[in-house]
Amino acid sequence: RMPASIPEADRRHRASAAFSLSFLSLVFSITAFTSSHWCEGTRKVAKPFCKGDSKGDLCIRFNSPDGNNSQAVQYIWETGDDKFVERNFHAGIWYSCEEMINEEGEKCRSFISLTPASDRGVLWLSIVAELLYIVLLLIGNILMSVEIFYYSSVIDGLKINAFSAVVTVLAGLLGMVAHMMYTTVFQMTVNLGPEDWRPHTWDYGWSYGLAWTSFACCMAAAVTTINKYTKTILEFKHKRKKLERSFRIQYNFPDH
């Protein structure tokens, strides 16, 4: 059995740092994947006619009894922004929600159904890549926890360390591709999606930032794991050279 060349405290410190980063990446990715705030913005919608005795700034009332005729409708679309209301919306991988007019709450619908048919395949690839990203992060977390809490030798730890590094790097690459594909699909949906959904203004939301933060933590965990593996190998090589030098000295100058 080869003796441990890396101090125990340093080994555990690096392994714990890699596990913490990988665990944060997993939590952030699951939170972002299940949320609907990847993109947020507003939609400009024509105010509806007031019904009954309803009043307020979110509907239009005409004093004339024929207020709902065609001229009145034409008047609504030709007068300026005061005849429109902006509704906030937010969209994620699975669904898109927007505020209701004159009602509390939100109306949600599947984002997949809003995506143009030509881009729906790319969206499904993005979803599959996100799921694989989460699965690989979970596997990496399990391997790192095994390395921290259960190991029989430094060699066994090195094997686990190498495998977890490969899994984590592969997870990071999948996450990056998934995030970029979703960004492309959303921008295409903004330009080619249904008229009753297209936003007036939009920007990326907190879930989008959380997804990329997860990617950054994943790559940081991978770098930490690879660094630990490389340092261990270099320590082993240095130890072997010292042993070879010691044997050579003993062979050339035997102890009388």
Which of these ranges, 103-107, 153-157, 207-211, has the smallest mean pLDDT?
A: 153-157
Kindly report the pTM of this predicted structure: 0.76
What SS3 string covers the chain?
Answer: CCCCCCCHHHHHHHHHHHHHHHHHHHHHHHHHHHCCCCEEEEEEEECCECCCCCCCCCCECCCCCCCCCHHHHHHHHHCCHHHEEEEEEEECCCEEEEECCCCCCEEEEEHHHHCCHHHHHHHHHHHHHHHHHHHHHHHHHHHHHHHHHCCCCHHHHHHHHHHHHHHHHHHHHHHHHHHHHHHHHHHHHHHHCCCCCCCCEEEECHHHHHHHHHHHHHHHHHHHHHHHHHHHHHHHHHHHHHHHHHHHHHHHCCCC
Whole-angstrom Cα distance, residue 154 to residue 151?
Answer: 8
pLDDT of residue 28: 96
Most confident of 3-17, 35-49, 167-181: 167-181
Tell me which amino acid residue 250 is. Answer: Q
Structurally, at CATH architecture level, domain 8-35+116-232 sits in Up-down Bundle (1.20)
**CA atoms of 160 and 169, how far apart (whole Å):** 14
For residue 161 the two structure tokens come to 């360390």
Backbone Cα Rg of the chain: 30
Q: Where are the domains of the chain?
A: 8-35+116-232
Confidence of residue 240 (pLDDT cuts 50, 70, 90): low
CA angle 170, 173, 175 (to 5 degrees): 110
What is the per-residue pLDDT for 206? 94
* Range 101-108 average pLDDT: 78
% of the chain beyond a pLDDT of 70: 69
Q: How confident is the model at residue 15 (pLDDT cuts 50, 70, 90)?
A: confident
2 has pLDDT over 50: no
